[in-house]
Amino acid sequence: MKRIYITLSALAFVGISWGQNTNPVYTFSKKQNAEKIRTTPSGANTPTSKPSTQTEKVLNVLWTENFEGSATALTTTNGTYSTSGSNPNYWTLRSTHPVNFSNPENLSGKFLAWDSYTPNSTEIDFASTAVDGAAISPDIDLSAGAANGLVLSFKTDAMYCCNYQETPFYIAISQDGGANWGASIPLDFNIDRNVATSDFNNPLEYFVDITAYTTAFSANTRIKFIWEAMNVDPNGQINTHYYWLVDDIQIYENPDYNLEIASSYWGTAGLNYFQIPITQTAPIDYTLNVNNTGALSMTNVKLNLDINTGAFVGSSAPVTISAGASDSLVLTTPFTPSALGTYLATRTLTSTEVDEVPVNNTLPNLSFDVTNYIYARDNGVLVGSSSNGTNGHETGNLFDIFADQTLRGINVRLKGGSGQSVIGTEFFVKIYSVDPATGDFVWVGESNPMLISATNVNTNLVVPLIDPAFLLAGSTYLVVCGSFTSGLSIANAGTSEPGTSLVLDMSDGLWYYQTETPYVRLNFDPSLSLEENSSSITIGKVFPNPTSGETTINYSLANASTVNVEVVDITGKIVYTLNNGTEVAGAHNLSFNAASFSNGVYYVTISTDEATVTKKFIKK
């Protein structure tokens, strides 16, 4: 189902509160005029682990910087860094993270740090202060030269906001001691506004080919690290906030053999799931986009996938990638899980030639679970929360349905603590279908309103729907948790492709996107709607129970009503239906043959015009 699902009238990253519960809620850059649509993503995973067993070659390193060696500001063993721009004092050497709400990564020892959040932190709702500043290295001796050209690498942790049209990260290079500078080189850390690089790596290892800027191989080369945020977007916002940390710089000769993963993707029809009900399993695709940044061609380049240590092994078709060229590697046979349990996917990138810089072409392992009932987009690793300042909102995720199934409830995690969910706030859960023709959201069902209490925050809260919702195969649904007032804050866990985790801002009635994944899940557990009597219908015993064949259930109607019967198994799959038409008030009995049912637990539901009741029985 490689198709476009929705077109939103306005998109943004809404109300993210980072870190611990004591942190404030940030609503920078809530409104965005740019229109985006959901398509199958190119991916946004950055390499982190290093499973390759190939022997690394020794790089020809011309210069390094780890920012150690002196207590003097901006002085290292290489010399003293100078600064320039409107805000030069925003650059310092530090050994602690400048901003505490972003789940910071631990760069070792001292590092070069830009902090524009601390001096501008009063701009909570709108970032409009222009800032710029550069940190300039002392002279770097590159006179030894390099036949294959040069690469600059460094470790980084960065986060910015709020101009949606550009990022603030640049470098520039001078070959004459800073008298003249080459064009600024934009750096793409593959992050959206308000999303730290730590969400992708620990920390991010970044590489820049600087061959075209170092052709003189000068002994007086300098590097300028630039935060440039002078421009406003159509909403009037500037990249005023947050920080950029740099450490462990190297300049080395571009190796003969060097593959670099530009992006990766895994999932089904553009969405990945970390919990999948056994009834909703479908083929899972794996893709890598790879650049050859080395000097020579690399042959037999393949993406390899191993699930649960040999339970499934697959690969992409082998390709040759010429120097300077790129290619997409797609697993030839998608993997479809077939049983309950945890699945660990190990991905490797291999080639005939030994890659000389394996740190930029290795991938983290992926883990997901096949469950009885739970369907989850979030990864369960809690980082921050989503709210909407003083306004009501709905927040949730898109889900694809691959087999007809009855939805009984929705699981959410409400963030508790100071500045988070407010005790006593009324909230609800809701499900919409997505019209494939128009992209409109069509109401399907919801829960009764509930109040936030001390006992239902910071926990996996199961919220039953008022009436079960029958979800259709081949359809997409939006599942949300919301409140008509302020005070609701929903935990986030993991990241989402733009346009796949959405927010309704009730102050303007527009849908926005967020790139953090809210903890809002589908729950197909049949027992959530296990109601055995109501004021209008009373259900008796299932006889015999356990049963092996002919089965009878007695029930009584308070009023004449249309009666429908449905039997589902423990996974929610419908195994029997009956429309009894209109029946008079009074006692009735129903018989059906369960001989063809597999052994296990089943639920029989009797629905009338006024109520729905359910009874459990066992087939042996």
CATH of the domain at 281: 2.60.40.10
d(CA 576, CA 612): 16
Would you say residue 368 lies in a domain? no
Would you say residue 1 lies in a domain? no
Mean of pLDDT values over 275-285: 97
Mean pLDDT over the full length of the chain: 85
Mean of pLDDT values over 249-274: 94
Mean of pLDDT values over 392-403: 96
Would you say residue 399 lies in a domain? yes
Q: Are residues 608 and 480 in the same domain?
A: no
d(CA 15, CA 30): 7
Number of domains in the chain: 4
Mean of pLDDT values over 84-112: 84
pLDDT at site 86: 97
Would you say residue 548 lies in a domain? yes
Last residue of one domain, picked from the residues 330, 363, 396? 363
> Of the segments 165-174, 454-463, 611-620, which one has the largest average pLDDT value?
165-174
Would you say residue 286 has pLDDT above 70?
Answer: yes
Choose between 349 and 50: higher pLDDT. Answer: 349
What tens digit of pLDDT does each residue of 465-492 get? 988 899 999 999 999 999 999 999 999 9
Would you say residue 56 lies in a domain? no
Percent of the chain with pLDDT over 90: 59
Q: Are residues 190 and 127 in the same domain?
A: yes
N- to C-terminal Cα separation, the chain: 39
Would you say residue 266 has pLDDT above 70?
Answer: yes
Q: Are residues 426 and 288 in the same domain?
A: no
Q: Are residues 455 and 390 in the same domain?
A: yes
Would you say residue 118 lies in a domain? yes
Choose between 518 and 121: higher pLDDT. Answer: 518
Last residue of one domain, picked from the residues 472, 494, 526? 526
Q: If 0-12 CB within 10 Å is exposed, 13-18 middle and 19+ buried, where does residue 61 land?
A: exposed
Q: Are residues 359 and 383 in the same domain?
A: no
Would you say residue 19 has pLDDT above 60?
Answer: no
- The identity of residue 618, as a single letter, is I
What tens digit of pLDDT does each residue of 22-72 get? 222 233 333 332 222 222 222 223 333 333 333 446 789 999 999 987 767
Would you say residue 317 has pLDDT above 90?
Answer: yes
Q: Are residues 168 and 117 in the same domain?
A: yes
Mean of pLDDT values over 214-234: 96
Last residue of one domain, picked from the residues 310, 329, 363? 363
Q: How confident is the model at residue 500 (pLDDT cuts 50, 70, 90)?
A: very high
Q: Are residues 354 and 474 in the same domain?
A: no
What tens digit of pLDDT does each residue of 567-606 get? 888 767 788 989 888 999 998 988 999 999 999 888 888 8
Q: Are residues 272 and 284 in the same domain?
A: yes
Q: In CATH, what number is assigned to the domain containing residue 88?
A: 2.60.120
Q: Are residues 496 and 548 in the same domain?
A: no
106 beta partners:
none
Q: Peptide bond before 186: cis, by omega within 30 degrees of 0?
A: no
Q: Are residues 517 and 534 in the same domain?
A: no
Per-residue CA distances from 569 to 372, 397, 443, 566, 617 (Å): 11, 27, 26, 10, 10
Mean of pLDDT values over 323-352: 96
Would you say residue 15 has pLDDT above 60?
Answer: no
- Residue 193: which domain range? 61-253
d(CA 468, CA 445): 8
Q: How confident is the model at residue 385 (pLDDT cuts 50, 70, 90)?
A: confident
d(CA 56, CA 43): 27
Q: Are residues 278 and 221 in the same domain?
A: no
Would you say residue 250 has pLDDT above 80?
Answer: yes
Lowest mean pLDDT among 16-20, 134-138, 154-158: 16-20
pLDDT at site 129: 95
Q: Give the CA diameter of the chain.
A: 98
Would you say residue 79 lies in a domain? yes
Q: Are residues 88 and 172 in the same domain?
A: yes
d(CA 407, CA 573): 11
Would you say residue 55 lies in a domain? no
